[in-house]
Every structure is written in structure tokens, then in C-alpha cells.
């Protein structure tokens, strides 16, 4: 176990509280293992009726995964330790998705990448005025993994494609409008919500509804028609051309944003969401995403993107391939291809 996750039970309620505040509670492999073990124990404990998932302190719910480990793996061990991290992190995502008892995630603060992966599979997802949701992987040459293909492809319209490509940040009101969150509570009501859930774990839905308030207008709603229009295609070149043909301020801003992103990531994400939309099981989605992760981890864009955005903070990544046209269908086929026998992702048994 690890002190980076506080694990308790209060009466009939389990409680997982992320506790890595200096890293905005970004997930390590030890944290994934600790949460998975606790959930396994509670699954077999008839006394536990529900689980609360939150963070102990600080402004982030969970800012992502262990990017430092992943980049080190890409540069030094051929991706071996990175693949091990992805494999078990994805097992946790799947375990939460399939969990037989209700889990309520309190997304009070930054909820990005790996944080999305543990929050969105939960039955109840609470946003607040502090929520900042994003899948920003296109900016570091990764891809919207941890179940992102499944979740984003099932948002209404083309919103998921827009979020996957641009890495746009949504606030709590926008998360509720999009269906990412199930409830919107003021942050000063969270302690009461948790106390009442602990006292009555069979009434989570009713308790959250009673404490919910009407959020501010969702800013993204006014751009929904533009997102639907310009992100209608599953070809990156078509999306860029559509934005370029629009002389409006919003289109120009999003076009400029997309031109900073990894062309490889954008094309991978578009295929990933199109494929995910057709899948019948979350396990199949995670199997596909593990194949992608195993290949993308050691391709040039990931180490370079992390260098430019996180390590050196120069924000000048040199993508390879440098253009959408350079990302061939043959390259995408190789990234999505099945792994050798014995290397495929498997769920926790």
C-alpha cells in the first residue's frame, strides 16, 4: 500500500482519497495498485455498500498519470515500465467501470488525463465551480487514453472529437451540460454530501440531487453548432480545411490550437473514437487503447512533447511526422494492430 492514497471505510461506505498534493494527485503505479486492491476487498465485503472517490487536499482532483515515469521509460527501457504502468492503470479503469457497487467521484478541481480515467467510469460524477476537465494528450504526443475513446465517443454530437483534438478545458457547468458530470454542487456543500452519503450509502442519487444547484450557463453551448460543423469529419485534413474556410474568430482560434498539436495524436484519436463508438464492451476498448499506448509510447512525439511542454517548458515541440499528410494510414494500421500473443491487455480477474 502507499501513503499517496488514503484508504478508509466509514460504516458501510468505502473511501479512496488521493493524497499526492504536490503533483496535483497525479497517479503513480503504486496508487493504482492500492486503489485496485481496496476495491477488490470491498467488492467482497457485504458491509460496504458504496465508495467515495475524492482527493485529500489541494486544488486538483487528479491531474493525470505519471508522465515522468512514462517519458523515462520511452527514453531508457524501450517502453517496458511504461507499458506495465498502462496495463495496470487500464485494469483499474476497467475495474471501476464494471464495479458492482456505486462509486461517487468528486471532481472538485483539475480532472485531466488519468483523473478522467478514474472519474468517468463512476456511476456518480460530481462537478463544482472548481472543476477543470480536459484530455490534453494531443499537446504531448500521447492520445486520449484511460478509456477516453469510449467516453468521448459517446458524448453528444462531435463534442468528443473536439475535446480529444484540441485538449479544450471545460468548467463544472460545461461538464454537467456535456453529460460528463451527473451532478453540480457548490464546493462548500461537498463535506455535507460526503457525510450524508456515509450515513445513507443507499441514497447517493437522492442526496446529490437535494444538494445540487443550477450551474452558470455552459459557455461551450454557444459553440456547439460550430463544433458540430467543423469537427464533422473523421479526417484531420477535413477538419483543418473546414476551420480554415471559416473567417470567424472562433474557427481561427481553434485552427491555431490544432496546428500546435501532434498530427499523429490527432489522427490516432480520430480513429480511436470512431472505433470505440462501434465497440460493445469497455474491455474491448481498453484492449485497443493498450495496443495504441504500447506503440505511441516509444514513437518520437511522446518524449518530444513532454520535453517541450513539461520538462523544458519551451512549448516548441518538433513533431514527427510534422504534418497531417505525413501520418499515413499504414502508420495508423501499425499503431492499432493486435499485439503479439501473450502481450495483449487483460482485465483484472
Catalytic: which of 114, 139, 148, 172?
Answer: 114
* 114 given a catalytic annotation: yes
Catalytic: which of 49, 54, 145, 289?
Answer: 145
Q: Are strands 103-107 and 50-55 parallel, antiparallel or unpaired?
A: parallel
Q: What SS3 class is residue 137? A: helix
* 89 given a catalytic annotation: no
Which residue's entry shows cell 513533431? 319
Q: Which of 145, 138, 241, 221 is nearest to 176 (CA)?
A: 221
* 192 given a catalytic annotation: no
Supply φ then ψ for residue 50, to 5 degrees.
-155, 165
Question: In the structure grid, which three cell numbers stand for residue 291, read together?
Answer: 495496443
Catalytic: which of 137, 174, 301, 304?
Answer: 137
Return d(Cα 24, Cα 310) in angstroms, integer. Answer: 14
Instruction: List CB contacts of 116: < 8 A, sequence separation 6 or more.
Output: 133, 135, 146, 147, 148, 151
Cβ-count burial 222-254 (b if 16+ within 10 Å, e if not): ebbebbeebbeebebeebbebbeeeeeeebeeb
H-helix or E-strand spanning residue 236: helix 236-244
Mind telling me the catalytic residues? 65, 114, 137, 145
Amino acid at each position: 500500500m502507499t501513503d499517496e492514497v488514503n484508504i478508509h471505510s466509514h460504516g458501510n461506505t468505502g473511501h479512496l482519497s488521493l493524497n499526492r498534493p504536490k503533483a496535483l494527485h497525479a497517479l503513480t503505479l503504486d496508487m493504482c495498485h492500492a486503489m485496485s486492491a481496496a476495491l477488490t476487498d470491498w467488492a467482497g465485503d457485504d458491509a460496504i455498500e458504496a465508495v467515495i472517490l475524492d482527493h485529500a487536499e489541494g486544488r486538483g482532483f487528479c491531474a493525470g498519470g505519471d508522465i515522468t515515469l512514462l517519458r523515462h521509460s520511452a527514453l531508457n527501457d524501450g517502453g517496458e515500465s511504461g507499458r506495465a504502468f498502462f496495463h495496470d492503470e487500464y485494469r483499474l479503469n476497467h475495474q471501476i467501470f464494471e464495479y458492482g457497487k456505486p462509486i461517487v467521484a468528486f471532481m472538485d478541481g483539475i480532472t485531466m488525463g488519468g483523473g478522467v480515467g478514474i472519474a468517468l467510469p463512476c456511476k456518480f460524477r460530481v462537478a463544482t465551480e472548481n472543476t477543470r476537465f480536459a484530455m490534453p494528450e494531443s499537446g504531448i504526443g500521447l492520445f486520449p487514453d484511460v478509456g477516453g475513446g469510449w467516453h468521448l465517443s459517446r458524448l453528444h454530437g462531435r463534442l468528443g472529437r473536439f475535446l480529444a483534438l484540441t485538449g479544450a478545458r471545460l468548467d463544472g457547468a460545461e461538464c454537467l451540460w456535456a453529460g460528463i458530470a451527473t451532478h453540480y454542487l457548490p464546493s462548500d456543500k461537498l463535506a455535507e454530501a460526503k457525510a450524508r452519503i456515509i450515513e445513507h450509502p443507499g441514497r447517493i442519487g437522492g442526496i446529490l440531487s437535494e444538494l445540487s444547484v443550477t450551474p452558470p450557463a455552459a459557455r461551450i453551448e454557444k459553440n456547439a453548432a460550430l463544433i458540430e460543423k467543423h469537427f464533422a469529419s473523421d479526417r484531420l485534413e477535413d477538419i483543418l480545411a473546414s476551420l480554415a474556410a471559416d473567417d470567424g474568430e472562433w474557427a481561427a482560434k481553434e485552427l491555431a490550437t490544432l496546428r500546435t498539436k501532434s498530427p499523429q495524436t490527432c489522427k490516432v484519436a480520430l480513429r480511436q473514437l470512431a472505433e470505440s463508438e462501434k465497440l460493445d464492451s469497455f474491455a474491448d476498448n481498453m484492449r485497443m487503447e493498450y495496443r495504441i499506448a504500447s506503440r505511441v509510447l516509444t514513437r518520437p512525439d511522446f518524449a518530444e512533447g513532454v520535453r517541450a511542454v513539461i520538462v523544458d517548458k519551451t512549448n516548441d515541440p518538433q513533431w514527427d511526422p510534422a504534418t497531417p499528410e505525413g501520418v499515413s494510414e499504414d502508420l495508423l494500421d501499425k499503431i492499432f494492430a493486435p499485439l503479439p500473443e501473450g502481450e495483449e491487455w487483460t482485465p483484472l480477474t
